[in-house]
């Protein structure tokens, strides 16, 4: 074999090797590009999911913030309304106390005391009872025998009423109790006002909240 064929064979081997190497390089390049594209898509997908998660988290936080602020506003409004309710009731009770105080000087007041005594005596169930008055009212002449007679007739229970030597610290009105203190009916003006207050509070609460909460 001459030198020329050897040279041609070597050239052919080198050319084939070069082409194989180029193929390997091209395959590697294509594979690398595909891998890069896959990684890019994966990275974009992860970034997209991360952004969506952040957005959802932000929306949830905004909603929670709005909810908290709304609840706080409602609570504050309720406290304001409750405060106003107390002011309204306190003002009504104060005016009633003033009117009661003035009424205790009225000539019709003894008749009111008489009625309060009879109501309390009936509530106590009759029997032997004593009447407690404040210092000023203790000087008032009251028809205790006539009241006791009416109660006895209504209840069918013998009733005896006496004015106690003890006085009470009250705006007016009376307390009727048994001698042993087991039975006690409070019909003082202060207690009457307190009962009125308990009735007023639900009504005023309804007035304040009926439209506000709608």
130-163 pLDDT, tens per residue? 999 999 999 999 999 999 999 999 999 999 999 9
Domain holding 160: CATH number? 3.30.2320.30
Cα–Cα distance measured from residue 56 to residue 37, given in angstroms and rounded to the nearest whole number: 28
| Within a domain: 212 | no
The total number of structural domains that make up the chain: 2
Structural domain for 160, as ranges: 104-202
Whole-structure pTM value: 0.58
10-30 pLDDT, tens per residue? 566 666 666 666 666 666 667
Which among 85-89, 128-132, 207-211 has the top mean pLDDT?
A: 128-132
Q: How far is CA 90 from CA 38, 153, 187, 201, in A?
A: 77, 41, 21, 10
């Amino acid at each position: 074999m001459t030198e020329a064929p050897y040279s041609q064979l070597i050239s052919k081997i080198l050319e084939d090797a070069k082409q194989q190497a180029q193929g390997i390089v091209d395959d590697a390049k294509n594979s690398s590009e595909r891998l890069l594209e896959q990684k890019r898509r994966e990275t974009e997908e992860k970034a997209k999911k991360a952004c969506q998660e952040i957005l959802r988290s932000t929306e949830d936080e905004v909603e929670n913030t709005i909810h908290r602020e709304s609840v706080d506003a409602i609570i504050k409004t309720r406290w304001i309304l409750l405060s106003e309710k107390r002011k309204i009731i306190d003002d009504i009770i104060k005016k009633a106390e003033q009117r009661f105080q003035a009424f205790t000087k009225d000539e019709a007041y003894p008749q009111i005391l008489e009625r309060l005594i009879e109501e309390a005596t009936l509530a106590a169930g009759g029997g032997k009872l004593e009447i407690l008055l404040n210092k000023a009212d203790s000087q008032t002449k009251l028809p205790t025998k006539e009241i006791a007679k009416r109660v006895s007739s209504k209840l069918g229970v013998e009733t005896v009423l006496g004015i106690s030597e003890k006085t009470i610290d009250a705006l007016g009105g009376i307390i009727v109790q048994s001698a042993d203190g087991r039975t006690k009916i409070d019909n003082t003006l202060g207690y009457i006002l307190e009962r009125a207050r308990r009735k007023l509070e639900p009504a005023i609460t309804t007035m304040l909240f009926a439209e506000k909460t709608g």
